[in-house]
Each structure stands twice: as structure tokens, then as C-alpha cells.
Chain A
Amino acid sequence: MRKIRTCLFMFFLFSVMIYAGNEEMKSSRLSVSGGVYFMQDEVFKEVYGDSAWVFCGEYSYRLPFLLKRHIEAGIEYRFLSDRGKLTVTKEPVDLVISDVAFSLRYLFDLKRFIPFVGPGLDYIMYKEKYPPTFPVSSTKGSVLGFSFQGGCYYDFSSSLGAKVCVKYSRAQAEEGLVKADIGGIGIKAGLVFRFDL
């Protein structure tokens, strides 16, 4: 384990040293990240706990024609899966939430650090699966939500970088008489690959 950490550190150090003198900006980014999602809904906390792991993949493109290329558009796929327990009988239930989010961000180019902020529109799909003793076997549906995110890219090189992001989303799902507030705060970090199409 120590050897792997040493190798990674040496790789990033090398790429930084290489990038330090390169001013070229590639338009497309492909990022993979993982993190934690804190859902606002109180029942979610009772059933699944305070948070759930979330995994994301995103393609973003720095738009050439807007604000001197400070605007980036992105499309992100997010996946969340968790197992919880019914509040009274403590039987297992499984939750899967996946969403496709469209976002626009303003990029602040500060050499290697590129902070960003911007709104987004989320199309959220959910499915909850219940134990055999439950009156229904599963519930599934979809809902539109809004989000706002802020974060920062860090370019190790012209092709490789990192990303940290905090995203606040709002969405409310309704299943019959049950309303679930599936918005919340997600914190994630990951790797970014830059390229030109």
C-alpha cells in the first residue's frame, strides 16, 4: 500500500512539472467521481441512515462562444444504491436512485485551479424494493429537480486533473399519499480526463 501511494504521488508530481509550462486548454472533460450524498428527507435518515454513497460520471464541454469560454456545459450520470431497514419491522429494503443532470457552470481560470459554480436540471429515477411480506413488491418513479453546484478542478497536466464538488439539489417525489424529499447535498471528488473532440 505504501508503494502504491508513493507511485501515485510521483506520477502527479511529474505531470505537474510537465504541465507547468503548457498553456493549451482542451475543451472536453470526462470525469469519474465518488462521494457521499446527504438526503434531506427525515424518513430516508430513519430507513437508510444519514447518508449514502454515490458514484458519478460526467462529460463536460467548455463552450467556445460564450463569455470567452468561461462557460462549461455538462451532462452527468449519478448512481446511488443503499440498503436500509423498515422503520418498525426492521426488514431490509433496497434503494436505487440514478439521475441524469444537465448543468451550466461558470469557470474561473486560475492557472491550475479552476473553480466553478452553476445551476443544473436533474432528471431523477428511483426504485425502492421491499421484502416479500410488504404489501407491494417495489415502488419506482421519476421526478425533475433543480440543483446548484460549486467546486474546483485542479489540472495536474493538460490531460489529467482532479475535481471536487459540492452539489445542492432539490426534488420532491410523490407516491400516492407519500411525499419524499429526495433533494440534498452531495460531496464528491474524482479524476478528470481532458481531451479535444
Chain B
Amino acid sequence: MSRQGYYLSTLKKPTLILLFALSPLLLSGSMHFTNVTEKYNVGGYSYFGAHGVCWVDVNNDGKLDLYIKNEDAKGVLNVENILFINYGNIFLDEAFLRGVADAYPPGTHGAVFADLDNDKDFDLFSTTTYEGISPSYNHIYENDGIGYFQDITGNISPSQDIDTFSRGVAAADFDGDGDIDLFFSNPLPDAKPFRTQPSPPQQLKNFYMNNGDGTFTWTYRGIEWIGFVQGVSAVDIDQDGDIDIAEAKWAPPSTIYLNDGNGYFHKAGGSLGLPLTINVKDNGMSFADIDNDGDLDLAVIGAHRIAIYKNKEGIFQKYNSMSTAGSNSGFHCCFGDFDNDGDLDLYESGGYIYQNDGQGNFVYVSLNLSALMASLNTVDPRSSALGDFDRDGDLDIFIADKRGYNVLLRNDIDDSNWIQVEVLSDQTGGTGGVGAKITLYEGGHLGEPGYLKGFREITGEYGYLAQDMPAAHFGAPQSSIYDLKIEFLNGEQRTLSGIVPGQKIQTAYILPPVNLTGERKLNKALFYYENIIQLTWNANPDNKNITKYRIYRIEEWRKLDYLDEVSAENLVFYIRNTSNDTQYIFAVIAVDNNNIEGAPAYVTVE
């Protein structure tokens, strides 16, 4: 098939030709990108080597930062990963300064950010790929709240003693105990040759189960190693309320492992309809609802093709297939509503972009419209991740290039036909909302399948080593208003109605207190006056089972400093020993009877 690939479907040829002829008119002006790599200084270093990429706000300043995993950088040993901190008009690499350079001589591949200790910041799980130098261990880094990390790998028990060849990783609450667990691929030092299948399959420990106290237990949970794994995705594939795992493999078939609800996995086999294909060299599996029917469909990329599977009542049926752009592409594909028209489009990393016609059919968007030449000019494109780094309501694309400079493509659509949903805190008390299912409906029709306008599931790393921004982005034409349903992993739901497009919704499992005010007061006795700050608030009527409130002071660089807690009946707190010349910022957080903290309410006292 030629580089200008078109979709194949069951349509008859004349219809196909007609549609192709009309496609420029249909798509006219809908998508356009600008290469802003140099402007924002995110090309990386001349030794290249980029593989995995993550969009995440590590320092809690409201702007997406960028973490890039580097491996096999030409002529460079101890190659460091890159952490580009977003300063608004430029990004600066501060990986070494912030403790996540994570240098391993030949380099590393995959990483995922998740709130591992439920303190509302993104911690880091970073894998290492063994290339003849020991030790080659995975690393866990704890975020201090303002984007500086401490290596807590020593908290894994038993201690690592096996070099790993890890690529894809996953982070989710697999056992449903209220904290994020970790999974990594290729838990052995050597996965070569890549195209063989060991016999029998090896039951190797490939999970770090979170104990909830800062420690992790290294264990086996049913996912055997049966051959070289590239990308890993973790979503609720069978929609039964727990997180499953999908592995893209080279020699054996790419496999889905279903969670039994307690964090133990079994191979789904052919029960989900995926073909048993040998030696396909799959690199990534990406799940998304491409036809807006409320379930997750699938794209499998590898071997120079993208295979689309539609989910029909839990069975994945092959829908169509398209060729990848070139001989070096084919590592990663991702879904995003790039034109904000209400359905998910498809982008191939280092390749083309395809517009969804609303039915899950993807139509090639010409380079004249998309201006994606920079994408095609990448040398060895690997992962790519989607994030609204400039906060203008559209999805931008960052492409990691193993043998060239990385590329940042800014989406120029710049309209108000969008809604973004961010989960500030979930049922674990942490931030990010991993596993949360977010469904958009036409206004006035909450919960009615016929009025579903979009379905997203928040996930960590997926496809080939990519982590999109931890917020759901929906295209939402301004001609309507919308209702929103957020379902957390434990089944609890939040709903919002009457949402006008053009805004970012921040929600939480436990909502912030309302009407939080802070006042300076003089606490008087007859002979002494004390300068205090009085905080008052009201309980959020949408919360249940709140037993107390915790009060924090936001110190410099947004670090949370715990002050005290008060019972749920006590809606006032006094801060003493304050200075009249200092501005203070405080946060009040509701806590439920399971000791889960909610999203904070903030107040500034001048």
C-alpha cells in the first residue's frame, strides 16, 4: 500500500471514490499544526535517543511539563532523561536538578507518573533496559510536591536483584485497595532474540504492589513472560470496574490480561476476539472510544500497519487497517479530538493524522491542511504524547525521535469548542484519577446512551511508552451545552449539568469545601492583642461521610505544609503567629470516614 493510505471499509468502490473526492471539502480548515520545537526549546540534545514521553504537571503550577526517556543515544554513556519544566514561553531541562535524570549507561525506555503516596502530586516510576551493565533496576521517585524527587527504590521489597529489560509500564490501583500499584514488562535481563517465544512461559515477578505505607512488594500476579514486550496499556478493557493490562509483543501475539478484581490476572486469550498472530512485531495497543458508544475500542500498531478493532459488547472485531507512514514509523498511535468536533481522531507518531468521520472511520488529512511535515520529517519516531501545554483548549503533540531532534507540534485550532475534565483527587485520595471513566452527554440527557458525546478513561502510560496529560479532552461544539458523568474506579459517581464549552472542569471524588474565606483578625484580651488569621468554610453538600477537615499552608513553590485538622462540625480554624507583612495561602481539604482526602479549596490572605 502506498504512503497515502486511505481507509478500507465495507463501502462499495464508487462510494469510496466519491468520499475521497469530497474529503478535502469535508475537512477543509479543520486541523492545522505548527512546529514550535525551537520556540520552546524542546528538541532535546544532539545525541538524540528519545523513546518514551510523558505530559504531566510535576510542580503543581498548572502547566504541563514534559519527561522524555532517552536510550541508545549516539556515543553518549550515562545518558540522562530529560525533564522539561514548562515556564510558559519556554521549557528548561531540569532533570538532574530535580533528581530524575535516572541515568543508566545505555539509557532507559518507559516511565509513568502517578500519585503513589496519595499526597496529590505525581511521583515517577521509571524503568531501565539492561544492555550489559549491572545493575539495571527500575526506580521509583517520590515527588515532594513541588517537582523535586527523591529516589525511594529502596522501599521495594524484596530488594531488586535481577536486571530488567523493561519497556512499557503501567500504574493503576490493580487490587482496589486504595493506592496505585506498578507493573513493568520484560522482568529479566535479556529478552533477545526478540522474535522468539520461550517455552514454557516464565512466571517472573513483574508487579510492585503498593502497601499503602510507602513500601512496595515485588511479586507475580499472573502475567507470564512469554516473549519480548514493547508497549503496555492499562484500562478497564472489559468494563467490569477493575483495570486490565494489554501487552504489545513482537513474537507472541499481543495479549490482553483481565483483572479478577483483586489484582490477579489471567490471559483473555481469544475470548475478546483478538487474532492470534505470530511474528507481527506489535509496538503498542491504544484503547479509546472511537465511535462514541461508551466502550473502549482498540488500535494495534506495529509491522507497518495500524489495525483498528471496534468493541462490540466486549468482543473486539477487526474494523479496518491502514499502512503506517514510512519504514521507520509504526511505534505508536494515539487518539485525540484534534479538531474539537466531538469525536476522536487518530495520529500516528511520526506519520499522518486521520480525521474521524463520526462513525469510527478515519480519513486521511492532507499535509496541506494539517501542516504535519515536521511529523513526517522525524528520523526514527517512537512515542508521541498529547497535552494542552499552552492551555488554549486543544491537543498539542510531542514526538520523541530516537535518531533526530524531538518535535513539538502546537495545535492551531484555537476555538472554544472543547471541555477538559481534570480529576484533582480520586477514590484513593491521590491526584490524577487513574481509572476514572468520564462520559459527556448532550445537555439534559445525562446517562442516555443515544446522547453520548464522548467517553474517556483516564490512564497512565499506554501505546508505546506514551503518557498523555492526565485530563480528559472532549471536542464540544458551542451550539450545545453538556452534562458530565465521572465514575471513579470504586463505582462512585459525580455528575455535572449544564456545562458550557470552552472551560476546564476540575472535579474530585471528595469535593472541596465551599465558601472558604480567610480574614486577619485581632484576638483580644484586655492587655494583649494577638494577630491571627481566621479561616471559615462550609461543608460541600455533595460530599458524604466527611469526618474532618485538614488544613495546610501553601508554602513557597506550592509545597503543602500540614497545620492541623478539625472535626467535621468545626468549620473554623485559626492560624497563629502570623505576620501582617506576609501573604499567606491556605488549603482546606475534606476527609471522609475512610481517611480519603478530597480536593483542596484555596484561599489567599493578603
Is B577's beta carbon under 8 Å from chain A? yes
- Which of A21-29, A84-92, A111-119, A153-161 faces chain B? A84-92
Q: Are B526 and A43 in contact (CB under 8 A)?
A: yes
Whether the pair A88, B523 counts as a contact (CB closer than 8 A) is yes
Contact A175 B576 (CB under 8 A): no
Is A109 an interface residue when CB atoms closer than 8 A count as contact?
no
Bitwise interface map of A from 11 to 43 toward B, beta carbon under 8 Å scored 1, else 0:
000000000000000000000000000000101
Contact flags (1/0) for B519-550 with A, using CB distance below 8 Å? 00111111111101010000000000000000
Q: Interface digits, A70-83 against B, CB 8 Å rule (1 contact, 0 not)?
A: 00000000000000
User: Using a CB–CB distance below 8 Å, which chain B residues touch chain A?
Assistant: 521-530, 532, 534, 574, 576-577
Least CB separation from B531: chain A residue = A135
List, in ascending order, chain A residues with CB within 8 A of B526's CB: 41, 43-44, 47-48, 84, 93, 95, 128, 180, 182
A/B pair count, beta carbons within 8 Å? 63
Evaluate contact between B527 and A135: CB separation under 8 angstroms: no
Nearest CB of chain A from residue B72's CB, rounded to whole Å: 60
Across the interface, do A133 and B576 meet the contact criterion of CB distance under 8 Å? yes
Whether the pair A86, B524 counts as a contact (CB closer than 8 A) is: yes
Complex A-B: 11 CB contacts under 8 Å: A47-B525, A86-B524, A87-B524, A88-B534, A89-B523, A93-B525, A128-B527, A136-B528, A141-B527, A178-B528, A180-B526
Complexed CA–CA distance, A87 and B532 (Å):
11
A48 to B526, CA, bound (A): 9
Minimal Cβ-Cβ distance residue in B for A176: B528
Further contacts, 13 of them, CB under 8 A, given A88-B532, A180-B526 = A41-B526, A46-B524, A47-B525, A88-B524, A126-B527, A128-B528, A130-B528, A133-B576, A135-B528, A177-B529, A178-B527, A178-B528, A182-B526
**Complex Cα gap A141–B383 (Å):** 75
Query: Does A89 contact B527, Cβ atoms closer than 8 Å?
Result: no
Q: Is the interface of B mostly helix, strand, loop or mixed?
A: strand
Which residues 138-156 of A sit at the B interface, judged by CB distance below 8 A?
139, 141
Cα-based distance from A152 to B522 in the complex (angstroms): 43
Residues of B within 8 A of A195 (CB): none
Q: Hey, which chain B residues are within 8 Å of A136, CB to CB?
A: 528
Complex interface residues of chain A between 170 and 185 (CB less than 8 A to chain B) = 173, 175-178, 180, 182
CB distance from B563 to the nearest CB of A (A): 13
Given A88-B532, A89-B532, does the pair A135, B525 have CB atoms closer than 8 Å?
no
Binding site for B on A (CB under 8 A): 41, 43-44, 46-48, 84, 86-89, 93, 95, 126, 128, 130, 133-136, 139, 141, 173, 175-178, 180, 182
Residue in B524, B576, B577 whose Cβ sees the most chain A Cβ within 10 Å: B524
B529 touches A178 (CB 8 A): yes
Interchain CA distance A43-B522 in the complex, whole Å: 11
Least Cβ–Cβ distance between A37 and chain B, in angstroms: 13
How long is the Cα–Cα vector from A46 to B521 in the complex, in angstroms?
15
> Among B521, B523, B527, which residue has its beta carbon within 8 angstroms of that of A180?
B527
The answer to whether B530 touches A134, judged by C-beta atoms less than 8 angstroms apart, is yes
Q: Are B523 and A87 in contact (CB under 8 A)?
A: yes
B521 touches A88 (CB 8 A): yes
Give Cα A139 to B574, complex, Å. 22
How far apart are B434's CB and chain A's nearest CB, in angstroms? Answer: 41
Tell whether, in the assembled complex, residue A88 and residue B522 are in contact, meaning their CB atoms are under 8 Å apart. Answer: yes
Cα–Cα, bound, A86→B530 (Å): 10
The listed residue (A41, A46, A48, A134) touching B528 by CB distance below 8 A is A134
Residues of chain A within 8 A (CB-CB) of B521 are 88
Residues of chain B with a CB closer than 8 A to A133's CB: 576
Once the chains are docked, how many angstroms separate the CA of A46 from the CA of B525? Answer: 9
**The one of A46, A88, A139 that contacts B527, using a Cβ cutoff of 8 Å:** A139
Residues on A with C-beta less than 8 A from B525 are 43, 47, 84, 86, 93, 128, 130, 134, 139
Q: Which 7 A-B pairs have the closest CB atoms?
A: A139-B527, A88-B523, A87-B524, A175-B527, A93-B525, A128-B527, A88-B521
Q: In the bound complex, how far is the Cα of B524 from the Cα of A130, in angstroms? A: 11
Contacts of A126 in B (CB 8 A): 527
Distance from B534 Cβ to chain A, minimum over Cβ atoms (Å): 6
User: Please, which residue of chain B has its CB at the minimum distance from the CB of A46?
Assistant: B524
**CB proximity of A35 to chain B, nearest CB, Å:** 20
Nearest CB in chain A: distance from B569 CB, A:
15
For the complex formed, measure the closest distance between the CB of A61 and the CB atoms of chain B, giving whole angstroms: 34
Closest to B530 in A: A135
Instruction: State whether A86 and B523 are in contact (beta carbons under 8 Å apart), knowing that A133-B576, A135-B576 are contacts in the complex.
Output: yes
Q: Please name all residues of chain B whose beta carbon is closer than 8 Å to the beta carbon of A173 when the two chains form the complex.
A: 527
A136 to chain B, nearest CB (A): 6
In the bound complex, what is the Cα–Cα distance between A130 and B576 (angstroms)? 14
Which residue of chain B lies nearest to A140 when distances are taken between CB atoms in the complex? Answer: B527
CB closest residue in chain B, given A82: B526
Given contacts A88-B532, A88-B534, A178-B529, contact A135 B577 (CB under 8 A): yes
Contacts of A95 on B, CB cut-off 8 Å?
Answer: 526
Q: A141 to B528, alpha carbons, bound, how many Å?
A: 12
- Tell whether, in the assembled complex, residue A87 and residue B528 are in contact, meaning their CB atoms are under 8 Å apart: no
The closest CB in chain A to the CB of B529 belongs to A178
CA distance A65 to B309 in the complex (A): 121
Report the nearest B residue to A131, measured CB to CB. B525
Of the candidates A46, A84, A89, A176, the one whose C-beta lies within 8 Å of that of B574 is A89
Q: Which residues of B contact A177 (CB under 8 A)?
A: 529
- Inter-chain CA distance A115–B298, complex, in Å, is 105
Distance between A138 CB and nearest chain B CB, rounded to angstroms: 9
- A175 partner residues in chain B, CB cutoff 8 A: 527-528
Residues of A within 8 A of B530 (CB): 86, 134-135
Closest to A95 in B: B526
Chain A residue contacts of B528, Cβ below 8 A: 128, 130, 134-136, 139, 175-176, 178
Contacts of A43 in B (CB 8 A): 524-526
**Bound CA–CA A93/B530 (angstroms):** 13
A184 and B496 CA atoms in complex are apart in Å by: 61
- Residues in A whose Cβ lies below 8 Å from that of B577: 135
Residues of A contacting B522 with CB < 8 Å?
87-88
Contact partners of A128 in chain B: CB under 8 A: 525-528
Report the bound CA distance from A126 to B528 in whole Å. 13
